[in-house]
Amino acid sequence: MHDTFAERILQLASSDQRVVLLSGESSNGRFRQFQEQIPERFFDCGSADTRLINQAVGMALSGLRPVVYASVPALTARCLEAIQSNICRHKARVILVGAEAEATSAGQPGGCRHDLALMRPLPNFAVACPADSVELRGVLRASLGRTTATYIRLASPGAPRIHDDNLEFKFGRVITLRRGTDVCLVSTGDLLAEGLAAADILERSGLSVEVVSSPTVKPLDGDWLDSAFDRFSTVVTLEDHGLLGGFGAAVAEWLADGVPHSARLLRLGTPEVVFDVATEERLDRRAALQPQQIAQQVLKRLKKRFRAVA
């Protein structure tokens, strides 16, 4: 996904002279081609901090389209005040791209993310979590056409490609991959492959499962949600993020504020854990989001509902 971003942003910058790339993170040579071909529009800022955001805002207000690349925690938590004070207040057309931070141990990501909870409340901001390289291309292209800012969280390195090149992406619209009638699994970010595999397991249990990707967390696809919560007994959200303030929370807020629906909501995300430096405890935040675990949690919820109805 990260290499796809590097390739795609070079293509976009080659065709649009307004596009400027600012790197607030060590990219290990990922943007070498960009730097060699368009050196005057590449800025290696060393770290993600207030100065990086202010520089991007100044460029945006001058008519450029700055794209800022940095690690997820540095770009969101560290720069949040500058984002609020400058990007949001000035309605600056800045694109923020959050990359996966280094894993705390080989192959195992550490404590849960909270970036969506930080970025969702910001005014004049769209939030996107593309599932694969194809969704990322669509998100980047659409973000350049927006009149306000966008936060894009890249999927983890090695995320499989799921869609074909004919995918049509629009902000605030879901993408249906599999039709079903009983349960709907709606994923944001790179849990889509796990959702499809969990659907296979659930269908072997006799359920008809629909699988949907929601590349955008803000705005939500309200029309689709209205339909989904009337058509299914249970709608399940999947996300690599804590349940507080994430994609599932956004859907829950939409559900609470709208008209009553027949379906129940089940939110599945990562546990609220913090990497323990003292004990060197390393936890895989996605352990409960493997296909078998997803299927088990869905079946458990359905059994509880059936007992309640009986």
Q: What is the mean pLDDT of residues 192-216?
A: 97
Read off the pTM: 0.92
Residues 220 and 124 in one domain: no
Domain boundary among 100, 123, 153: 153
Q: What is the per-residue pLDDT across 37-46, written as a single tens digit (0 to 9) for each? A: 999 999 998 8
Residues 102 and 213 in one domain: no
Q: Tell me the CATH number at 277.
A: 3.40.50.920
Assigned domain for 159 exists = no
Assigned domain for 275 exists = yes
pLDDT, mean over the chain: 90
Assigned domain for 124 exists = yes
Our count of domains for the chain comes to 2
Domain that holds residue 141: 2-153
Assigned domain for 162 exists = no
Q: What is the per-residue pLDDT across 157-178, written as a single tens digit (0 to 9) for each? A: 778 999 998 899 999 999 999 9
Assigned domain for 185 exists = yes
Q: What is the mean pLDDT of residues 115-141?
A: 96
Q: What is the pLDDT of residue 309?
A: 44
Phi, psi of 85 (to 5 degrees): -75, -30
Whether the pLDDT of residue 26 is over 70: the answer is no
